[in-house]
Amino acid sequence: MFNELFFKDKPKWKFIENNYGNDNGLDSTDMETFKKDPIASLARESCQNSVDAQKSENAVLIQFKVFYMDTKEIPGINDLINEITACRNSNVEGSRQYIQFNNMLEYLKNKSIPCLRISDFNTKGLEGVRNNSRDKAFYRLTKGNGQTTKENGINGGSKGIGKFASFVNSQIQTVFYSTLNMDNEKGFLGISKLASRPLDNELLCTTGYGYFSRTEKVLPILDDLNLDKNFMRTETGTDIYILGFKIEESWKKDIITKVLDSFMCAIHFGKLGVEVDDVLLTKDTLKDIVYNEKYINGVKDKRRIISQYILLNNDYVHKKEFNINGYGNFEVYVREFNREDEYLATKKCSMIRYPYMKIKDFNVACAVPCSALCIIPENKLNKTLIDIENPQHTDWEYLRLNPDDRKLMRKLLNELERTISEYANECLLNGKNEEIDMEGAGDLLPDLDNYIDVSLSNSEVESNKPRIISVVQNKVKNTFGEVEDENAISNQPDIGTHIDEDVDDVSPIPEGQNEHSGADVHDSQNETGYSSDGNDEIMKEVSLSGIKSTIFILNKELGKYAISFNSIYDEKNCELEMYYLDDSDNKYKALIKSCTINGEDGKVENGKIVNMNLKKDTMYKIEVHTNLNDIYACEVRLYAIR
């Protein structure tokens, strides 16, 4: 135990010498990592760290509270101003760092500054305050870089650099940490992350890191910290004080939005509660908050958050548990949305891992408006994914691994995403869904690199096993031409107008020639009748709407697909075309090489099926051999030639 005499000295800021080593700038790589979205990073890192330190089965509570502090009462304010001034003067006047430090000095001229207190409850606090042990949490948090005491697979964070999210949100890059731990030890330490500046000569500099302490060894001050006059800690937990909080009008809304998007499951399962100023987020208040627009930013955020809430709380949700051999279980939730509610469909799956934090979204390969959720519990799969997370915990990046492990990890991620997409299709295609527009059904498929037939056991995938790609269906329009029959279907489409050069009357005759893909160019502009040589009757293509079709892939390497639909028409001389979308949603015509229709050979010309005869209320299964050689989002179009 340290000599208590050390703690009788007056606390002050001490900026550490670099011993002729590294010369650090104000904008370090660790700081830049969290600058893209500072508030979001702060909310995620704070909640994650507190959940990791849960003390009992009761929910962890986290408070985000803004308070104002007299500038003159900032601990060691004069020392801090002197250091910032020295940092400024060590830079060329007008340079970026000179301006940044000068702005800090101007900021500290304010009579008071906003500060943010982040406090957690029902947590263990930080171990190792009194003995300042290098392998304990307090030391790692305040002095470690890229170090953590967390055990991967059990705790949510494991990179050891999340603390920099707090400094990014401070106008003066200064933060205080205070704790009361399970050993009844209390203590605090102030840290200012500035930049290196020369000391006695140009070679000896500071590291840029300063500590507010009572000793030369910058040990924790074993006392209470009372920066927020309205708060006093009486139970175990940790407090983070961000001095000069970069407060914006929307700060509260920003934190609530990010907490709900990232920790909806943790709140729903009673593991976490969050208080943002005067707004309390708990399992009991979730519904009122989720559906209240004043608490959530942007349309996309609302869609993601409401979808997650519905998936967790609605009775009409498909649920199933899956297992990846050798890695453990995961659970998938899927919900389709009807036409009235499809604005809530994300067409994505939110990937949640223990301790119930969302990491990312990925596109679900289904044309039906839907949202999905995947929850990975505390198991080997969870631990494996934590190992490949980026520092912001927003993606799984297998390229971080050595080359020998990348292939296996890529297969694991592909297996996970493919299982989710196939289950979503299985659920939604068997459900009762409203029609969606055939023309606009883009069939969101994952990137091709993430949708490859792989197996963790390296067994061959059955090439003749069909896989559902999409379901598309036209909306039945009110009218399809100028003359309607009793079913609102006409014998001709709405084709525009034509003006005869010799007559002022406007007639319903199209201008130009028929240059539809794959069709012969007509040599007349007449609407009906015969060609100029009097031999060939002029025919028109009429789109057949309202038919729901399901597309299966039979063999991606050979380009074999199956199309299934039930005809609602009696129609002769029909044509079928097939289209596919690339990664950028550009649409191209697929060339059909051959086909069978209900087991009989069909006729193919110019890359499309021709001379098809349809009977009303008859199911058709069409197998096609195309020029495609991979998995694509596809759609079909049917025309009657009249």
Look up the CATH number of the domain holding residue 322.
3.30.230
Q: Are 290 and 306 in contact (CB under 8 A)?
A: yes
Q: Predicted confidence band at 559 (pLDDT cuts at 50, 70, 90)? A: confident
H helix or E strand, kind and range, residue 201: none
336 is in which domain, residue-wise? 313-434
Q: How many CA atoms lie within 13 A of 383 on its CB side?
A: 11
Among 247, 276, 293, residue at a domain's last position: 247
Overall domain count for the chain: 2
User: Is 90 exceeded by the pLDDT of residue 92?
Assistant: yes
In a shared domain, residues 111 and 243: yes
Sign of CA dihedral 82, 87, 92, 96: negative
Q: Establish if 276 belongs to a structural domain.
A: no
Contact between residue 458 and residue 544 where contact means Cβ atoms under 8 Å apart? no
The answer to whether residue 295 scores a pLDDT higher than 80 is yes
Whether the pLDDT of residue 178 is over 60: the answer is yes
Highest mean pLDDT among 234-248, 363-377, 440-454, 548-562: 234-248
Please give the Cα distance from 342 to 542 (Å, whole number). 29
Q: Is residue 80 part of a domain?
A: yes
Kindly state whether residue 146 falls inside one of the protein's structural domains. yes
Residue range 572-589: mean pLDDT, rounded: 86
Type and span of the H or E element at 154: none
The verdict on 216 and 360 lying in the same domain is no
Rounded Cα–Cα distance for residues 636 and 642 (Å)? 19
User: Based on the domain organization, do 160 and 40 belong to the same domain?
Assistant: yes
Say yes or no: 211 and 334 in one domain: no
Least confident interval from 214-223, 466-475, 605-614: 466-475
Q: Read off the pLDDT band of 147 (50, 70, 90).
A: low
pLDDT at 28 over 80: no
Which of 434, 452, 469 represents a domain boundary (last residue)? 434
- Residue 450 within any structural domain of the chain: no
Q: Are residues 240 and 338 in the same domain?
A: no
Asked if residue 341 and residue 230 are part of one domain, the reply reads no
Mean pLDDT of the region 499-510: 38
Pairing relationship of beta strands 370-376 and 348-353 according to DSSP bridges: parallel
How far is 210 from 194, CA to CA, in rounded Å? 8
Domain annotation covers residue 203? yes
pLDDT digit string, tens, across residues 231-286? 999 999 999 999 999 998 899 999 999 999 999 999 999 999 999 999 999 999 99
**pLDDT above 90 for 303:** yes
Same domain for 122 and 25?
yes
Cα angle 299-305-311, degrees, rounded to a multiple of 5: 130
Residue 476 lies in a domain: no
Q: Are residues 237 and 319 located together in one domain of the fold?
A: no
More confident residue, 233 or 465: 233
Residue 280 near residue 272, CB atoms below 8 Å: no
Length of the chain: 642
**Average pLDDT for residues 465-472, to the nearest whole number?**
45
Across the range 501-517, mean pLDDT stands at 40
CA distances from 228 to 67, 74, 224, 392 (A): 7, 11, 11, 29
Instruction: Please indicate, yes or no, if residue 167 is contained in any of the structural domains.
Output: yes
The answer to whether residues 213 and 345 belong to one domain is: no
Q: Does residue 510 lie in a domain region?
A: no
Let me know whether 214 and 317 are in one domain. no
Find all residues with CB under 8 Å of 256, minimum gap 6, and list them.
274, 276, 279, 281, 289, 295, 296
- 328 with 413, same domain: the answer is yes
Looking at 247, 271, 291, which one is the last position of a domain? Answer: 247
How far is residue 132 from each of residues 17, 140, 186, 189, 221, measured CA to CA in Å? 20, 9, 12, 11, 11
**SS3 assignment for 235-303:** CCEEEEEEEEECCCCCHHHHHHHHHHHHHHHHHHCCCEEEEECCEEECCCCHHHHHCCHHHCCCHHHHH
**Residue 81 and residue 228 in one domain:** yes
pLDDT the model gives residue 503: 37
What pLDDT was estimated at residue 538?
A: 63
pLDDT of 315:
87
* Residue 153 pLDDT: 39
